[in-house]
A and B are shown apart, each in its own frame.
Chain A
Amino acid sequence: MTTKLFGEPVRRREDARLIAGQGRYLDDLGQHALAAAFVRSPHAHARITGINVDAALEVDGLVAIYTWEDLPPGVAEPLPLLIPHPALTHGRTAYPLARDIVRHVGEPIVMVVAVDRYVAEDVCDLIEVSYEFLKPVVGVEAAVSGAHLVHEDVPDNIGAHLVQEVAAKDGRSAAEAIAAAPHTLSFRLDIERSACMPLEGKGVYARWDADDQSLRVYSSTQTSTSVRMALAAKLGIPLPKVEVIAPDVGGGFGVKIVHPWPEEVLVPWAARLLNRELKWTEDRREHFISSAHERAQVQHVKVGFDDEGRVLGLSVEILHDHGAYTPYGIIVPIITSTQLLGPYKIGAYRVEFSSVYTNTVQVTPYRGAGRPQGVFCMERTMDKIAAFLGKDRTDVRAANFIQPDEFPYDQGMIFQDGRPLIYDSGDYPESLRKLKELIGWDEFPALQEVARAEGRRIGIGIGCYVEGTGVGPYEGGHVQITSDGRVHVSTGLTSQGQGHETVFAQIAATELGVPIERVSVVTGDTRRFGYAVGTFASRAAVMSGNAIALACRKVREKALRVAADALEADPRDLEITDGMVHVVGSPSAAIPLATVAVLSNPLRYAFDEEAKRATQFAGSADMNRPPVAEGEEPGLEGKDYYSPIRSTFASGMHAAIVETDPDTAEIRILRYAVVHDCGKMINPMLVEGQIHGGVAQGVGGALYEKMAYDDHGQLLNASFMDFLMPYATEIPRIETDHLETPSPLNPLGIKGAGEAGVIPVASVIAGAIENAEGFPIDRMPISPSELHELRVRPA
């Protein structure tokens, strides 16, 4: 492995096309396709009493109008509940087009196909839907009161209820441990809704080939393989006749892992029915009201602790708002419940959640996926314990840390992958040491004093997290070296800007000993790789990275065998450098991988000069052996899968210094520091990029972004004017430091890095504001207006 690229800040191979405007995103494809648009419910909860399309039929350029009544069996059924769980006793999913009842503003009712999107929207405007209004349910507390129901057959609007409890070593329950603890605290925390909000919305483009009876679908998705299987099943098309491709995708952050979306089923269905190319490109308003949101929870916390701040018992009750439907099951509250524990060993833990229906957009994972809420809970708890005891907040955390010699550490719970929550590795005390140094934790009180004397309010906050990454069940990699010496790598999971083409090429180039320029990588194209799970849970590098490494090792082994034959050497004496197989220490006895690829595929026909060397009269073969040896296959290619026994656990700690304006209550982040441990880094430049982006989304969630629903279930800020995603002017410079604690679970020793940046930000900022202001911050995000309210409220 002399071509060392693993671990280097290699520049991205995606960028050449993306900076030139040559990317191919969903709406860049199918320039002559028909366009779809949807009539969506303007009401949060209503019964549809009639749909009148008479006026719409006059519009020039209209092709088709469909309602639920028009859908065939299969397509007409409710969309799948992707992740069933025994605790999800009342799972409900939507019909692709509303049948009888709409349950949130934005739910699709009528599909319109027209010559272009302008005309399709004109048609939508002319379709009259009449409604009988039902009482909308908004907010988890209103929901569990059960006064009104989102689904008639779901009592108290509770879709799922789950309790997990881990007893203390002495067998005490959490309630007993808290009751017996020297000190106890109880409090309530609130986290508001936000959303992934990728700059490219969703989109689907379908081409039915009537001659071939096959379907090709492009979707801006995080899982093309699973969309393919869903479509084959829903449309009754044999799987080999369906191909799904994720082209360049303009960001995902979770929302595009949900599938099949109504449009993902309807567009291919209608394309086949009409025998016309058809495309739907989601606009921003649609994305706000008809895709997915996340985060909203109310938490009730009780904690018991000793004089050192060690947690003896912790009990958390969570009300989780999952919106109108549960296509993604209860993954989000499960992750909150389990990842809440962070880097700490606590005595006894009980967590109970109710996952609740409301007449709002469905809730599915958004980068962090329940962890920001869990970390908010635990880190606010740590700060409150420190405040109660008058101790330094970092000392209280350190007192609770799992120590480096305690790994693997079993938290005694079941994680989101259905497997035990066992941390594989980490070094939390060292992370804390690095973070305190980076932010200047110990020097801060003096700074704060100086500021105070100048009439300024500054505060510091800290937050720690552990993130289960690289969840299974598996990913695969395929590697082929062709007779031109090129290396073609493919994996089934998809890319949304992470730089997979670069990191997977780094892995392949390193494993195979070839220049990276010769490696090309394809992701998310079922024509190239059919078995995959998808891109979510910070899993792509861990899962596909290791699968590709394993596939490369198979190919390498074969290349050495074939080359050993040609060079009349022992394969154990061979290595590959710069695309040449050669005897170790003897560069002259060498053969290019291109030639090895030719030799690996015995030919009858010479289609070019190179191929002549592999034909039957070339005189190179041993006449006593079959051209393809037993157990061998022609060609220099290999495929392998990586399927871990359980997740690998990355970790990190953030700290921030904020300043609050004493008069206007504006909140400014002066410094933001991150220490991050994702095991071995494949490309530190890209890891940093992931952290920056995550922190920025975290800052959005802490200070700016909130889905504001009114009591009628209307989303009041369904635009970028009023849903405040941060611009460059709102994001601080992020200072980073890294630790590399390898994962013992996978061959490359890596852990996921995609979501980490976002996870602790709200808790860090809350802690810093609290430190600046001197009163508790228990609800995020927080605006200047809300901070002002806290200042002036009666004590």
Chain B
Amino acid sequence: MKPPPFDYHAPVSVAEAVEVLAEAGAHGKVLAGGQSLIPMLNMRLAAPAHLVDINRVAGLGEISAGPDGVRVGALARHSQVERSPDACGTLPLLRQALKLVAHPVIRNRGTVVGSLVHADPSAELPAVLALLGGSVRLASRGGEREVAAADFFTGPLESATRPGELAVSAFFPAWPGGTAFVEVARRHGDFAMAGVAAAVRLDDDLRVAEARVACISVGPAPVVVDLTAACGNRPVASMDWRAVVSAVQERIEPEADIHATAEYRRHLTGVLVERAVRAAADA
């Protein structure tokens, strides 16, 4: 289990990085935290001819929080975001989700933007970005473009990032209500068999004014469902949970694997939707 050979590039600026990536085209791969990429290299499941290590690129480590939301640079590690009072103050969902990402040591190295680009349908951060309607900023030789989450996650381990593009940051919009992230994994820290991120806004009478969930491990990409209608503008205590759950269950497409049947994932997602919405409403 040793990585195959590759040409190594260590650009120090975004301009230089996108130049190298443009040259490499489809044979280029970006290395940021490497916590998903390097296992694949060690198992020789991936063999890019060019590896573009962006760890020396200046200016990509920033985490900036404002009233609109949080922008996370491509080199911001999970643990840095998790410990950032500004980022998590603006958006508690970031910390709620990051605590569920693998284990602390992996979070020390893995990056938030890397996780988004990796686009694992079982991963937490794509669900957060999708739930909040965030976006990813992609740089290339031709300039920059901002891709909305809805367009970014195109399939399992597939994102809208094109050859020659570098994801330089992601933007997570603020949410004016409560949030929660609940999941069930086989072991603590494993990819979840099912998980639900919820964002709920209550009106002044504590009725649900707006509710959304994003579900993981039950489709090719995070499945976002707007539950505002299903919640029927009721208080949480008198919600028709059956309606809420079935609104989600009819949207998801779980598949079986060695850890769980499709039916169990569907059931579990239902359980977690209720738990997540309740927790988000309480938050």
Question: Chain A residues with Cβ under 8 A from B263's Cβ?
Answer: 788-789, 792
Which of these binds chain B: A96-104, A118-126, A149-157, A314-322? Answer: A118-126
A708 B258 Cβ-Cβ under 8 A? yes
Indicate if the CB atoms of B187 and A704 lie closer than 8 Å: yes
A1 located at the interface, meaning its Cβ lies under 8 Å from any Cβ of chain B in the complex? no
* CB within 8 Å for A724 and B186 given contacts A285-B43, A784-B193: yes
Judged by a CB distance under 8 angstroms, whether A664 is at the interface is: yes
CA distance A666 to B188 in the complex (A): 12
Which of A284, A285, A663, A722 contacts B258, CB < 8 Å?
A722
Contacts A121-B44, A726-B187, A727-B187; is A664 near B258 (CB within 8 Å)?
no
Contacts of A125 in B (CB 8 A): 4, 44
A664, A788, A792 interface centre (most CB from chain B within 10 Å): A664
Residue of A nearest to B43 (CB): A285
Q: Is the CB of B271 within 8 A of A704?
A: no
With A285-B43, A716-B258, A717-B258 known as contacts, the answer to whether A118 contacts B189 (CB < 8 A) is no
Q: Which residues of A contact B193 (CB under 8 A)?
A: 784-785
Q: Is A15 an interface residue (CB 8 A)?
A: no
Cβ-defined contact, B4 with A122, below 8 A: yes
Contact B43 A784 (CB under 8 A): no
Name B260's contact: one of A704, A726, A785 (CB within 8 Å): A785
Q: Are A285 and B1 in contact, CB atoms less than 8 angstroms apart?
A: yes
* Majority-rule SS of B interface residues: loop
> Of B188, B264, B272, which one neighbours A785 at CB under 8 angstroms?
B264
B267 in the interface, Cβ–Cβ < 8 Å? yes
- The complex places the Cα of A724 from the Cα of B191 at a distance, in Å, of 12
Is residue A586 contacting chain B, with contact meaning CB distance below 8 A?
Answer: no
B258-A784 in contact (CB<8A):
no
B259 within 8 A of A: yes
- B244-279 interface bits toward A, Cβ cutoff 8 Å, 1 = contact, 0 = none: 000000000000001111011001100110000000
Q: Does B5 contact A (CB under 8 A)?
A: yes
Cβ of B57 under 8 Å from chain A = no
CA A284 – CA B261 in complex, angstroms?
A: 27
Q: Could you tell me which residues of chain A, from 372 to 413, have a CB within 8 Å of some CB in chain B?
A: none
B4 touches A664 (CB 8 A): no
A704 to B1, Cβ gap below 8 A? Answer: no
Q: Determine the distance from Cα of A283 to Cα of B190 in the docked complex, in whole angstroms.
A: 22
Contact indicator B189/A729 (Cβ below 8 Å): yes
Binary B-proximity of A693-726 (CB < 8 A = 1, otherwise 0) = 0000000000010101000000011010110101
With the chains together, A706 CA to B260 CA distance in Å?
13
A784 to B263, CA, bound (A): 12
In the complex, the answer to whether A724 meets B190 with C-beta atoms within 8 Å is yes
B95 CB to nearest A CB, Å: 19
Which residue from chain A places its CB closest to the CB of B275 in the assembled complex?
Answer: A663
Q: Mark A106-122, 1 if CB is under 8 A from B, else 0.
A: 00000000000110011
User: Whole-angstrom distance between the alpha carbons of A666 and B267 in the complex?
Assistant: 13
In the complex, whether B10 has a CB less than 8 A from a CB of chain A is: no
Q: Which residues of A contact B259 (CB under 8 A)?
A: 722, 783, 785
Considering the complex, give the chain A residue whose CB is closest to the CB of B270: A663
Whether B2 sits at the interface, judged by CB under 8 Å, is: yes
Binary contact track A777-795/B, C-beta < 8 Å → 1, others 0? 0000001110011001000
1/0 contact trace for B35-68 toward A, CB 8 Å? 0000100011000000000000000000000000
Q: For the complex, is A517 an interface residue (Cβ under 8 Å from B)? A: no
Chain B residues positioned under 8 Å from A118 (CB to CB): 2-3, 5
Indicate whether A789 sits within 8 Å of B261 (C-beta atoms), given known contacts A727-B189, A784-B184, A784-B193.
yes
Question: Is there a chain B Cβ closer than 8 Å to A484's Cβ?
Answer: no
Interface residues contributed by chain B, number (CB under 8 Å)? 25
- A437 interface residue per 8 A CB criterion: no
Query: Whole-angstrom distance between the alpha carbons of A283 and B44 in the complex?
Result: 13
Q: Chain A contacts of B4 at CB under 8 A?
A: 121-122, 125
Q: Mark A38-63, 1 if CB is under 8 A from B, else 0.
A: 00000000000000000000000000
Chain A residues with CB under 8 Å of B3's CB are 118
- For residue A442, CB closer than 8 A to chain B, the reply is no
A397 shortest CB reach to chain B, Å: 32
Say whether A730 faces chain B, with CB atoms less than 8 Å apart: yes
A263 to chain B, nearest CB (A): 16
A788 contacts which chain B residues (CB < 8 A)? 263-264, 267-268
A540 to B184, CA, bound (A): 42
Chain B: minimal CB distance from A337 (Å): 30
CA distance A724 to B259 in the complex (A): 10
A-side contacts of B190, CB under 8 Å: 721, 724
Q: CA A714 – CA B188 in complex, angstroms?
A: 27
Given A724-B190, A727-B189, A730-B187, A783 contacting B260 (CB threshold 8 A):
yes
Nearest to A791 among chain B residues (CB) is: B267
How near does chain B come to A1, taking the closest CB pair, in angstroms?
48
- Whether A117 pairs with B2 at a CB distance below 8 angstroms is yes
Kindly list chain A residues whose C-beta atoms are within 8 Å of the C-beta of B187: 704, 724, 726-727, 729-730
Residue of A nearest to B188 (CB): A729
| Residues from chain B with Cβ under 8 Å of A283 in the complex | 1
- Bound state CA distance, A792 and B264, in angstroms? 10
Contact with B along A261-280 (1 / 0, CB 8 A): 00000000000000000000
Once A125-B4, A729-B187 are accepted as A-B contacts, the answer to whether A785 and B271 lie under 8 Å apart by CB is no
> In whole angstroms, what is the CA distance A505 to B22 when docked?
66
CA distance A719 to B258 in the complex (A): 13
* Complexed CA–CA distance, A348 and B267 (Å): 47
The answer to whether A284 and B184 touch across the interface, beta carbons within 8 angstroms, is no
User: Shortest beta-carbon distance, A442 to chain B, in Å?
Assistant: 33
Residues on B with beta carbons closer than 8 Å to the beta carbon of A783 = 186, 259-260
- Bound form: Cα–Cα A118–B268 in Å: 43
Tell whether A785 pairs with B1 under 8 Å between CB atoms, given A125-B44, A664-B268, A726-B187: no
Cα(A121)–Cα(B3), bound, Å? 9
List, in ascending order, chain B residues with CB within 8 A of A727's CB.
Answer: 187-189
B1-43 toward A: CB 8 Å interface, digit per residue (1/0)?
1111100000000000000000000000000000000010001
Q: What residues on A are CB-neighbors of B260 within 8 Å?
A: 783-785
**Residue pair A785, B43 in contact (C-beta under 8 Å):** no
Contacts of B188 in A (CB 8 A): 727, 729-730
With a cutoff of 8 Å between Cβ atoms, the chain B residues found around residue A785 in the complex are 193, 259-261, 264
Specify which chain B residues have a CB less than 8 angstroms from the CB of A724 in the assembled complex.
186-187, 190
**How far is A666 from B184 in the complex, measured between Cα atoms in Å?**
8
Min CB distance A722 to B, Å, is 7
CA distance A262 to B190 in the complex (A): 34
A785 to B185, CA, bound (A): 11
Q: Report the bound CA distance from A122 to B184 in whole Å.
A: 39
Residues of B within 8 A of A726 (CB): 187
In the complex, the answer to whether A704 meets B2 with C-beta atoms within 8 Å is no
- Report B-chain residues with C-beta under 8 Å of the C-beta of A666: 184
Contact B186 A664 (CB under 8 A): no
- Please give, as numbers and ranges, the residues of chain B lying within 8 Å of A792 by CB-CB distance: 263, 267
The answer to whether A704 touches B43 (Cβ under 8 A) is no
Complex contacts, B271 vs chain A, CB 8 Å: 663-664
Is the beta-carbon distance between A789 and B264 smaller than 8 angstroms? yes
CB distance from A697 to the nearest CB of B (A): 15
Q: How far is the CA of A456 from the CA of B38 in the complex (A)?
A: 43
Q: In the complex, which residues of chain A have a beta carbon less than 8 angstroms from the beta carbon of B44?
A: 121, 125
B274 — nearest CB in chain A belongs to which residue? Answer: A663
Which residues between 652 and 696 of chain A lie within 8 Å of chain B, taking CB atoms? Answer: 663-666
- Which residue of the partner chain B has the closest CB to A284? B1
Per-residue A-contact encoding for B161-198, CB less than 8 Å = 1, 0 else: 00000000000000000000000101111100100000
Q: How would residues 628 to 672 of chain A score, 1 for a CB under 8 Å from any chain B CB and 0 otherwise?
A: 000000000000000000000000000000000001111000000
Instruction: Look across to chain B and name the residue whose beta carbon is closest to the beta carbon of A719.
Output: B43
Additional pairs, 10, CB under 8 Å, beyond known A121-B44, A284-B1? A121-B1, A121-B2, A122-B4, A283-B1, A664-B184, A704-B187, A729-B187, A729-B189, A730-B188, A792-B263
A-B contact pairs, 10 of them (CB 8 A): A121-B4, A122-B4, A285-B1, A665-B264, A706-B258, A783-B259, A785-B259, A785-B261, A788-B268, A792-B263
Closest 10 CB pairs of A and B: A729-B188, A785-B260, A785-B264, A708-B258, A283-B1, A118-B2, A663-B271, A788-B264, A121-B2, A664-B184
